[in-house]
Amino acid sequence: MVLTINAGSSSIKFGLYEEEANPEKTFGGQISRIGLSGSMLSYTNFKTNHSANTESKSTDYVSAISFLVSWLEKQINFSEINAIGHRVVQGMAHTKPTLISAELLDELKLIIPYDPDHLPVEIALIEAFQKYHPRIPQYACFDTDFHAGMPRVAQLLPVPRRFDQRGIRRYGFHGLSYSYLMRELENRVGKQALMVRIILAHLGNGASVTAVYNGKSMDTSMGFTPAGGLPMATRSGDLDPGVAWLMIQTENLSAEKFNHLINHESGMLGISQTTGDMNNLLTQQHTDIRSAEAVALFCYQVKKWIGAYAAVLGGVDILVFSGGIGENSPEIRARVCEGLEFLGISLDASQNNENASLISVNESRVMVMVLPTNEELMIAQIVSKMLVHKQLLES
């Protein structure tokens, strides 16, 4: 069995999978709204089809991790678990999934300043399972892996070269999601899907757009950190350095306060002043101009990135929407695609409203699809493959 752990900005998802080429999920769930009121742990036993919720009382990530580890002890048999796979957002020099060692943990701790919103939690989860189950090997599956082969020009930042030598460049994220979507495309469309021009839009609380050609990432909207690119639920997205300087000067912001501002107070929340949740914004937009502007900006920016990546690729053959917003919001998809007819994008309104997997009209030059993503399954597949490789080396 493989246990997967996926820590997000306000949640921790977990899953238990059969160890095989196409792992089957037997148990899973998540702690949501960590640090917010009403934090809950929800789970499903897929063997018995039993689902339940329980209050987690997780006031922060420290309490959430402690609660999760002790709760899992009562729910699953750790003696049956052969490995634990973790989503690690920032991999920097690491371009492949890696067995977690003391040396790797030391490396990750050194780069915490590069990703202070994800790495501390991911490291804490790894160390918690090490403490209680030291015999179980743990693997890091890096979100940056999918983009590691981007062209050099897409990685460069226009700052003095000494920063590039320190590893400060564009890395890209949501790699596990994009890897899964490419496998799904191959399963549904065939191997030719890997040979065409594809734009993948992972739209959720965290959002990014990626250009893919011949199965490889050519460019992606998130850059050095997951705060770059599109405006998101609470993240600013790309920001004029002059605006950043003015914010710091006029509000006397420390580095920590500025980081909190652009990651947790900006984006849709900052514009609407009420919420970063897209469902709430869509409901409020008809009576609240701030919510309407937040929705409009999000759609406008996604459309801009799609247009930009059509230029990078020399056109587009397949456009994929995924993530919580991309999978579930017909209005957002329609507003993003409106005006992109010149690229060959034409939606079928009824199919789009039904969240069908294919939402473009038959005559559309671009195939527009809605594909649910599954980062946990991707982690389980990666770790299962690594365990098989390890067994072959040992035999």
Supply the CATH number for residue 7's domain.
3.30.420.40
Least confident of 113-122, 136-145, 197-206: 113-122
pLDDT over 70 (residue 203): yes
Is the same domain home to 115 and 210? no
Binned at pLDDT 50, 70 and 90, residue 87 comes out as: very high
Mean pLDDT to the nearest integer, 94-106: 92
Q: Two tokens at 54?
A: 């329980």
Residue 113 structural domain: 2-142
Is the same domain home to 128 and 23? yes
The confidence score (pLDDT) of residue 91 equals 86
The confidence score (pLDDT) of residue 220 equals 98
The confidence score (pLDDT) of residue 351 equals 97
Rounded-to-10 torsion of CA 285, 288, 289, 293: -40
Is the same domain home to 138 and 77? yes
Mean pLDDT to the nearest integer, 155-182: 95
Mean pLDDT to the nearest integer, 104-129: 91
Looking at 111, 126, 142, the residue that finishes a domain is 142
The confidence score (pLDDT) of residue 21 equals 75
User: How far is Cα 145 from Cα 211, in angstroms, rounded to an integer?
Assistant: 15
Q: Calculate the alpha carbon distances from 66 to 27, 92, 121 in Å.
A: 19, 28, 12
Is the same domain home to 265 and 136? no
Q: Tell me, rounded to whole angstroms, the distance of Cα 90 from its chain centroid.
A: 11
DSSP string computed for 234-263: S---S--HHHHHHHHHHTT--HHHHHHHHH
Q: Is 143 tagged catalytic?
A: yes
Q: Which residue, 173, 158, 167, 140, is CA-closest to 379?
A: 140
Q: What is the pLDDT of residues 214-248, one digit of tens each?
A: 999 999 999 999 999 999 999 999 999 999 999 99
Q: Is residue 202 part of a domain?
A: yes
Of 60, 106, 117, 143, the active-site residue reads 143
Mean pLDDT to the nearest integer, 288-317: 98
pTM score, whole prediction: 0.93
DSSP assigned state of 191: G
Binned at pLDDT 50, 70 and 90, residue 392 comes out as: low
pLDDT over 90 (residue 61): no
Mean pLDDT to the nearest integer, 147-164: 96
**Integer Rg of the chain from CA:** 21
Binned at pLDDT 50, 70 and 90, residue 88 comes out as: very high
User: How far is Cα 298 from Cα 233, in angstroms, rounded to an integer?
Assistant: 9
Higher pLDDT pick, 172 / 195: 172
Q: Is residue 148 part of a domain?
A: no
Q: What is the pLDDT of residues 361-379, one digit of tens each?
A: 999 999 999 999 999 999 9
pLDDT over 70 (residue 185): yes
Is the same domain home to 81 and 219? no
The confidence score (pLDDT) of residue 299 equals 98
Is the same domain home to 83 and 15? yes
Report percent pLDDT > 70 for the chain: 99
Is the same domain home to 97 and 232? no
Q: Is residue 153 part of a domain?
A: no
Q: What is the pLDDT of residues 323-339, one digit of tens each?
A: 999 999 999 999 999 99
Q: Two tokens at 69?
A: 């580890």
Strand positions, DSSP E, the chain:
2-7, 12-17, 25-32, 40-45, 50-55, 83-88, 98-99, 138-142, 197-203, 207-213, 216-220, 318-322, 367-370
Binned at pLDDT 50, 70 and 90, residue 138 comes out as: very high
Q: Is residue 155 part of a domain?
A: no
DSSP assigned state of 54: E
Number of independent structural domains in the chain = 2
User: How far is Cα 90 from Cα 123, in angstroms, rounded to an integer?
Assistant: 12
